[in-house]
Amino acid sequence: MIFLFLAILLLNCSPNHEKKILDEILSLEKRIIKTSDINDQKFLINEISKNYSFFLDNYENSDFHPDILFKYAELLNSTNKIDKAVFYYKKIYNLYPDSKFAPISIISQASCYDKIGKTNFSIELYNLFLSKYPNHPYVVDIKKLIKITGKYNTEIIKNLK
C-alpha cells in the first residue's frame, strides 16, 4: 500500500507531469482570453485557480514556480480576493527577492492595501519599493502614487496640477 502511494506521488511529480500541468494552465489561460461568456469565465477562473494551486503545492523547485506564483497572485487580486493576493505577493518577494516579479509584487501589495483602505501599509510598501529599487523604471510613477494614495478625487486633481 505504501509502495503504491509513493509510486503515485513520484509519477505526479515527474517532469512529464509538470509539463502536462503547465500545458493545461496555458490552455486554460488561452481559453479565458477568448471567451466573453460570464459563466464560462467563472468556470475557467476556478479551473485555472485549481491548477495554479496544485502546481504551487507540488512543484516548489520548478523554474516556473515564481511565474505561477505571480500569476496566481494576479488572479486572486483581479477576483478581489485581496487577502489571499497579498499573501502570495509577499511570498514572491520573500522567496524570490531577486526575481523580475519582486518589484512588481511590492507595488501590487501596496495597491491591494490601498483598495481596502489600508493606506499606511500601502505607502510603507511604496517606500520600500523606492528604497529597494531606486533605478526601476516605475520610480517616478510610484512617487506620484505616494502623493495621491488615500486621497479623494478632488484632492488628487489638486495634487496633479
Distance CA 106, CA 75 (A): 16
Cα–Cα distance, 85 to 70 (Å, whole number)? 9
Residue with the larger pLDDT of the pair 15 and 60: 60
pTM summary value: 0.81
DSSP 8-state symbol, 96: -
Query: pLDDT tens digits, residue range 111-153?
Result: 999 999 999 999 999 999 999 999 999 999 999 999 988 776 5
